[in-house]
A and B are shown apart, each in its own frame.
Chain A
């Protein structure tokens, strides 16, 4: 099929022959000629990668390029079909997670993998719980956990259950868990996708500190500036193949993106221009209160994109969920206006029936039925339009799903494949596709491009602008400041469940939003 001819004996070349130049110290970890197939499809196709102690190695590529798969092979989570992983000159048993851990390879997964009901300490030691003759040694467990947290400079109560932590803190606990195993190689798969700028800066500093002490780090991110801030070298993958490995001094952000997509990508930073005679208020909240939400008044007009800025944990997700009735509210009222008729939003279902689309923050738990194919996920919110007398119309459904898969540029565009088998960024596209088909009048997006690559991100931004231009009222929550600034006509900054300031497009920049978000200034709405 699409497998290139390969007659060279696999894995027999000397190591120095591989990527990189002679001026790099001996690598501590090497993946040699890794091939990983899922069924007939090749996810990683003959890729080699080598990383030295003290090096931060960036790994880049579009959604579905094979980054996570390659890293899971390096960490022994997946057994490669061909090729092998070498650590300190020794070959690891393929697909043996234990052996990889013992050799000092720790992976922080793209999707959080903590047990929500267990405490911070229990999670950090999960899988390597210290015990004496079958009894858990709690004191030892806490000592190791505290040490790991201290190493990354994060303070959090060891006895707190994970479920009560913010997404950002969970991410740091996840890293502490990797650190607790005293790794020589630390692999991070999109660790900053859930973090705000301040937290990201903290994480990046921390990684540089760890690398300074001789740790080898492989770092995956779709945010190019991060790569240029900390990486020494980068490897770019495209369609499962190795494109290039270069020293960071020898390339530019544009150059890297070009390697990723294989063409010159015009990243228009074109902002949304709202109509001067702006539409009427469609979505409105008055005196809204809910757990984590304090007395919110908020209006979103037809044709307008309203952004909610703030730190993770400021209450933005809680706010939008309470607004549309997805979670309980304790006081206040929200309304939706269509064709001049204003209706109270009594329940989440009435909101959906009234034309609201909601793209939740957590795609795997709230957004998708992972064990079902793409087509079924897309059908779910559109089932009324796609059925007659409660009987589903298969042909119509397939056409509908194919069209939407094309609109969001799903790759590969196989609508009968289970969503769980898609890469993270492509799963996010399916969540968007689910709702786009309804041509919603109100659309609420919570972190709409988390884990989505640069090209697809620009595409999604274009779609959001298009929805607004066609008269939809759009409410966006994003911790990605450039995204928030690019999209929003108006930005409300939220802190402690309150709107602490409102910035119009020409007043908003990274500094003004962050100042409000962290409580350094108070700007009143004009």
Chain B
């Protein structure tokens, strides 16, 4: 509105007015940083990697980054629903991803891929229902509930498989899916983007997604607005479970193998991606598109560490540090917006 300073008149602005303007700019900048910070950081990180890290810009490396990002990204996109609903996270995605991967390969070896997928869907719905009912109906704490279902799920899986590794046929459709790519883009990455777009639409534009967000902001006010809140929670956990299942398929297809330990650390990697993207652990605020950016950020960061020869321990430490940092920024942002 007051952009007439650009007309080149010589009258200097009064000190008070100048100060005000600077202050307004500072405010705008900080608000912009809080909201769009992830965009800059991701771009800066990619730029940094491209310039300083040997081997980052090469077709095999970029394909590898995508291949690793896709399964975790699909899981994180789904889990965004649980986080926004104010239920912190779904730890049991570790068990769900592994179960879906093992079921896909082991069951399809015995029968066929569609049957294996159907079995996996039934298992995913069961996970969504159990987690959702415990948290949504019985009001149990989501962290404890999903930690327990992780134990149950992984225990069952190890008992059923005896810890053995399953291999798909080397000329099967699963391997073909895992190996196909368009340019540097693996099919899995395209699937990830499609899942993100669909879930983003569900979260922002449908009444279900709207209720998830509003429940995350204030449960009681949402209930008193006539929303069936248990169903909202069950829905959020079910979306997460179905995404975890897809993530499991993609992960298994990538190597054409499956084992109960294949998804170690997926819980915290997904959470890191979600909150680095700027979705609030307090619930109510965030988006699936932000999670996509968070996934890119975390994946590129991990890739940089791998290419620099930093061991798994350091990588794990970095993820932990990243979560603490992002959660602290989130808490500060929440205070600043007066919510």
Q: Does A372 contact B (CB under 8 A)?
A: yes
- Mask: chain A, 282-320; 1 = CB below 8 Å from B; 0 = not: 000000000000000000000000000000000000000
B207 touches A420 (CB 8 A): no
- Mask: chain A, 328-354; 1 = CB below 8 Å from B; 0 = not: 000000000000000000001100110
**Separation of A380 and B229 alpha carbons in the complex (Å):** 13
**Separation of A480 and B19 alpha carbons in the complex (Å):** 46
Identify which of B217, B220, B285, B334 gathers the most chain A CB atoms within 10 Å of its CB: B217
11 chain-A/chain-B pairs, Cβ below 8 angstroms:
A1-B2, A39-B31, A348-B224, A349-B226, A352-B226, A371-B218, A371-B284, A383-B211, A387-B207, A390-B206, A420-B338
B221 touches A369 (CB 8 A): yes
A379 touches B210 (CB 8 A): yes
Given contacts A366-B224, A376-B214, A383-B210, contact A391 B337 (CB under 8 A): no
B211 touches A372 (CB 8 A): no
Q: Does B11 contact A (CB under 8 A)?
A: no
**Separation of A6 and B206 alpha carbons in the complex (Å):** 49
- Mask: chain A, 82-103; 1 = CB below 8 Å from B; 0 = not: 0000000000000000000000
User: How many B residues, CB 8 Å from partner?
Assistant: 36
Q: Does A370 contact B (CB under 8 A)?
A: yes
A381 touches B225 (CB 8 A): yes
Cβ–Cβ < 8 Å partners of A379 in chain B: 210
A391 touches B205 (CB 8 A): yes
- Mask: chain B, 187-228; 1 = CB below 8 Å from A; 0 = not: 000000000000000000111101101100110111111111
B337 touches A369 (CB 8 A): no
B214 touches A380 (CB 8 A): yes
- Mask: chain B, 215-257; 1 = CB below 8 Å from A; 0 = not: 0011011111111100000000000000000000000000000
B225 touches A365 (CB 8 A): no
A369 touches B24 (CB 8 A): no
B16 touches A6 (CB 8 A): yes
Cβ–Cβ < 8 Å partners of A38 in chain B: 338
Q: Does A22 contact B (CB under 8 A)?
A: no
Cβ–Cβ < 8 Å partners of B217 in chain A: 369-372
Cβ–Cβ < 8 Å partners of A383 in chain B: 207, 210-211
Given contacts A7-B14, A7-B16, A392-B210, 12 further A-B contacts (CB under 8 A): A81-B23, A348-B223, A349-B228, A365-B218, A367-B224, A368-B221, A372-B213, A383-B210, A387-B207, A390-B206, A392-B206, A421-B338
Chain B, 74-127, CB within 8 A of any chain A CB: none
Give the top 10 A-B pairs by smallest Cβ distance, nearest first. Answer: A352-B226, A369-B217, A371-B339, A420-B339, A369-B218, A381-B225, A380-B225, A383-B207, A371-B284, A371-B217
Cβ–Cβ < 8 Å partners of B206 in chain A: 387, 390-392
Q: Does A525 contact B (CB under 8 A)?
A: no
Q: Does A238 contact B (CB under 8 A)?
A: no
Cβ–Cβ < 8 Å partners of A32 in chain B: none
Q: Is the interface of A mostly helix, strand, loop or mixed?
A: mixed
B210 touches A371 (CB 8 A): no
Cβ–Cβ < 8 Å partners of A380 in chain B: 210-211, 214, 221-222, 225, 227
Q: Is the interface of B mostly helix, strand, loop or mixed?
A: helix
- Mask: chain B, 1-37; 1 = CB below 8 Å from A; 0 = not: 1100000000000101000100110011001000000
Cβ–Cβ < 8 Å partners of B2 in chain A: 1
Cβ–Cβ < 8 Å partners of A172 in chain B: none
Q: Does A262 contact B (CB under 8 A)?
A: no
Cβ–Cβ < 8 Å partners of B228 in chain A: 349
Cβ–Cβ < 8 Å partners of B24 in chain A: 39-40
Cβ–Cβ < 8 Å partners of B214 in chain A: 369, 372, 376, 380
Q: Does A326 contact B (CB under 8 A)?
A: yes
**Separation of A365 and B219 alpha carbons in the complex (Å):** 9
**Separation of A348 and B20 alpha carbons in the complex (Å):** 51
B221 touches A367 (CB 8 A): yes
Q: Does A358 contact B (CB under 8 A)?
A: yes
B16 touches A434 (CB 8 A): no
**Separation of A6 and B23 alpha carbons in the complex (Å):** 16
Cβ–Cβ < 8 Å partners of B224 in chain A: 326, 348, 358, 360, 366-367
Identify which of B218, B227, B339 gathers the most chain A CB atoms within 10 Å of its CB: B218
Min CB distance, A428 to chain B, in Å? 13
